[in-house]
Amino acid sequence: MCGRLSQYRGVHEFVAALSMPNALVNNAGDQPLELYNAAPSTQLLLFHEESGVLHADRVRWGWRPQWAKGDATPINARVEKVAHDPFFKEIWPHRVIIAIDNWFEWVYEGGPKKQPYLIRRKDREPILCAAIGQYPRYEKEPDEHDGFVIITADSQGGMVDIHDRRPVTLNPERAREWLDPATPKERAEQLVRLEGEPVEAFEWFKVDQAIGNVHNQGSHLILPISD
């Protein structure tokens, strides 16, 4: 999965997609997010559940443990090993959902630049991506080390022609189970390894090269272009 996505709807539209009757603590604001071209290190909307309450916060995309050497900050974690990887041990118990509108991949098709593609649900509903992270909680104030990573899996079907990795996405029922702190770690691992949504739920098309510049924003970036 390449490091670019869109999150332009408002918090309440994403909450509706989760179909959670829980009370909501909204620390992300009520206005549309309008992030059409979000890159790593962007503060993105995350959901977590705590004491029966759904929380919406803005948290940086990317996380590394404080003890890690080097400057690299992962933005993704491979589903094949995330549950048992010492690098992510600290945050594996802290499950979140990042609800997005679409994500982007780049494909070399000849010419001087790779061609960007937009991937979205066929029904245009929000995409509920499984993630883990370090984020504000009742007993933890926001701090500079907060961040999250999106869990990814091997692509399947036609999507593999766009990119060999894709985010693990969950239907609303599975997303609620992922968020539930009472869900055992073993079941959580089963959810992301075996019960993600199929590639048939998605469609993809070419978009303008302008998406490659992280400074560009606007709804024109998610419009299809012709060949």
Report d(CA 23, CA 44) in Å as an integer: 21
Report d(CA 226, CA 79) in Å as an integer: 35
In terms of Cα–Cα distance, which of 144, 130, 111 is closest to 227?
Answer: 111
Let me know if 129 is a catalytic residue: no
**How big is the chain, counted in residues?**
227
User: Contacts from 139-147 at CB under 8 Å and sequence distance 24+?
Assistant: 142/57, 145/66, 146/59, 146/60, 146/63, 147/59, 147/60, 147/61, 147/62, 147/63, 147/64, 147/73
Q: Give me the helix-helix angle, 172-179 and 11-18, nearest 10°.
A: 100
In terms of Cα–Cα distance, which of 132, 166, 164 is closest to 147?
Answer: 132
Catalytic residue among 2, 49, 129, 197: 2
In terms of Cα–Cα distance, which of 133, 136, 149, 179 is closest to 18?
Answer: 179
Catalytic residue among 49, 105, 129, 197: 105
Q: Is 180 helix (H, G, I), strand (E, B) or coil?
A: coil
In terms of Cα–Cα distance, which of 54, 21, 51 is closest to 139?
Answer: 51
Let me know if 195 is a catalytic residue: no
Catalytic residues: 2, 105
